[in-house]
Structure 1
Amino acid sequence: MLISVIIPVYNEQENLLKRLSFLCNQANKFPIEIIVSNSPETTDNSTKVCSNFDKVRYLQSEKKGRAAQMNFGAKHAKGAILLFLHADNQLPKDFYTQVVSAIKNGNKAGFFAYKFDRETFLLNVNSKFTTKDGIFAGGGDQNQFFTKSTFEDLKGFNESFCIMEDFEIIDRIRKKKIPYTIVQSKAIASARKYLNNSWLKVNLINGYVFLLYKCGVHPRKLREKYKSLLRESV
């Protein structure tokens, strides 16, 4: 069963090199298609990085924005399963068997629990919450996957969401009662925004922006608020 791993990137050449090295190694063992969907506004050497890997399909997205880039990658994907990976996240070594098993067990979608690339008590608390379902579960750092038919039925990510597109599509899955699961084999998420700010600040901002999202605030305003509060671009 072919899995298409789709990586939306915007000036992520260093992280991209790490992700592609790992994925190409996995593609030597399992049927995996690797797609990089680059932002039209990227200014780094992501294109050159991709050219060094013959198993990587490099695409220049027609539109900017993570949702648009992921949809563009999905449009060109050949796999029966689509897995969306942020460039600063690392999938577990057994991700292929875990995802295929989840789909064969009747799930149409899912996402991974994760731990951080830094070990602290407070970050471990956050990590613990990713192992269970709830209103905060399913964000992009949890590396969402879907059967291609399910993703197409959902009409992909909502491109009007320049932020929170991950939660928006999971909300639609829940409303439609589409079966999904949380893979307990943990991915590794970057702790860089916590290091650039603080654990308390990041969690307060995340909670505040999530509340605004649930209250129906326009995605553009959500992004502006998030960028104004956090020392990290979205």
Structure 2
Amino acid sequence: MISIIIPTLNEEKYLRQTILHTLKMVEGKTNLELIVVDAGSTDGTIKSIEDLEVKSIIRPDLLFQKYASMNYGADQSSGDVLLFLDADTLLPKRFDTLIRQELKSTEVVGGAFEFSFENPDWKLWTLAILNRIRYRFSKVYYGDQAVFVSREVFNQISGVPEEALMETAFLCKRLRKVGRLALLRPGIRTSARRFLEHGFFKVAWFDLNMFIRFNLGIPVSPYAEKYWNKNLTN
């Protein structure tokens, strides 16, 4: 079974579409579990999926702690494989079969999907290409690439590190120490809302700053509250 864990906070506009799309793209519908861990949304996030077969958990004490939502969702799941999915990210067709096939290799402990934006302009397309070059060298994937990992390995590395920002990148850093991370195609499609709402160059500069700090081992957590307040509570 694959357990899909979706951390949310005020995702009413995207969550239902993401879940319906996921159910449409999956090949083995009987071997799938969807878990939403909501950190105290003030909009209709949970209400928007009440009629869907999804396990919804409301934990307002996990506000601005995405890593904790990811770990809690993993604890509440029962799958052999964990897939961490952002609420505004769309998976490709047969994603579950692709994951299972990749994890048959004893060298592979997890992985992610090729990155792309939904409805990109030239600036977003260029950024996506640069991003693809980055993670091909670093083997560090971000949350909007739908990172997956076997439960056995996830428990072995003690889950997602307690990092308030770039938590999935820190997770990949741990995973690389115990095995190989795969890159699956076709890719995911993620929303460009951050760039559209706050300005392309401003967001790109912030992301570049976080990327540099991460790779130099400089803490990124001081920027966490600003990031979450701006991007998840609009």
TM-based fold match above 0.5: yes
CA-to-aligned-CA distance 1:109-136 (integer Å, 9 cap, x gap) = 0001121112222222222333752237
Query: SS of the counterpart of 1:104?
Result: coil
1:103 is aligned to 2:103: yes
Amino acid at match of 2:137: G
Aligned to 2:157: 154
Question: Per the alignment, do residues 171 and 28 of structure 1 end up closer, same or farther by CA in structure 2, a change over 3 Å counting?
Answer: closer
Q: Give CA deviations for 1:38-92 in whole Å, capped at 9, x if unaligned.
A: 11x3112222223211x21111235332111111110011111000000011111
Structure 2 gap segments, 5+ residues each: none
1:74 corresponds to: 74
TM-aligned CA deviation for residue 14 of structure 1: 1.9
Distance verdict in 2 for CA 1:225–1:42, change over 3 Å: closer
The equivalent of 2:174 in structure 1 is 172
Structure 1 SS opposite 2:187: strand
Deviates more, 1:30-39 or 1:114-123: 114-123
What secondary structure sits across from 1:67 in the alignment? Answer: helix
Hey, what does 1:24 align to over in structure 2? 23
Specify the alignment match of 1:140 in structure 2: 143
Taking the aligned partners of 1:219 and 1:156, their CA distance within structure 2 comes to: 19
- Runs of at least 5 residues in structure 1 that lack an aligned partner in the other structure: none
Give the alignment's TM-score, normalised by structure 1: 0.87
Distance 2:227 2:23 in 1: 34
Q: Does 1:60 align with 2:55?
A: no
TM-score norm. by structure 2 comes to 0.87
Q: Give the SS at the match of 2:168.
A: helix
Which residue of 2 is the match for residue 49 of structure 1? 48
Cα 1:44–1:28 change in 2 (3 A) is: farther
Q: Write the letter of the residue equivalent to 2:138.
A: I
Q: Which amino acid aligns with 1:108?
A: V
Which residue of the partner structure matches residue 8 of structure 1? 7
Contact 1:23 1:34 in 2 (8 A): no
The whole-number CA distance in structure 1 between the counterparts of 2:9 and 2:228 is 16
Q: Which amino acid aligns with 2:98?
A: Q
The one-character-per-residue Cα deviations of 1:190-230 (angstroms, maximum 9, x if unpaired) are 111111233333222111122223344444313256569xx
Q: Partners of 2:161 and 2:93 in 1: how far apart?
A: 30
Return the alpha-carbon distance in structure 1 between the equivalents of residues 83 and 165 of structure 2.
Answer: 19
Q: Is the 8 A contact 2:113 2:184 kept in 1?
A: yes
Closer/same/farther in 2, CA of residues 217 and 146 from structure 1, 3 Å limit: same
Distance 1:204 1:46 in 2: 30
Q: 1:221 to 1:95 in 2, by over 3 A?
A: same
Task: Tell which deviates more after alignment, 138-147 or 61-70.
Answer: 61-70
The match for 2:186 is 185
CA distance in 1 between counterparts of 2:206 and 2:120 reads: 21
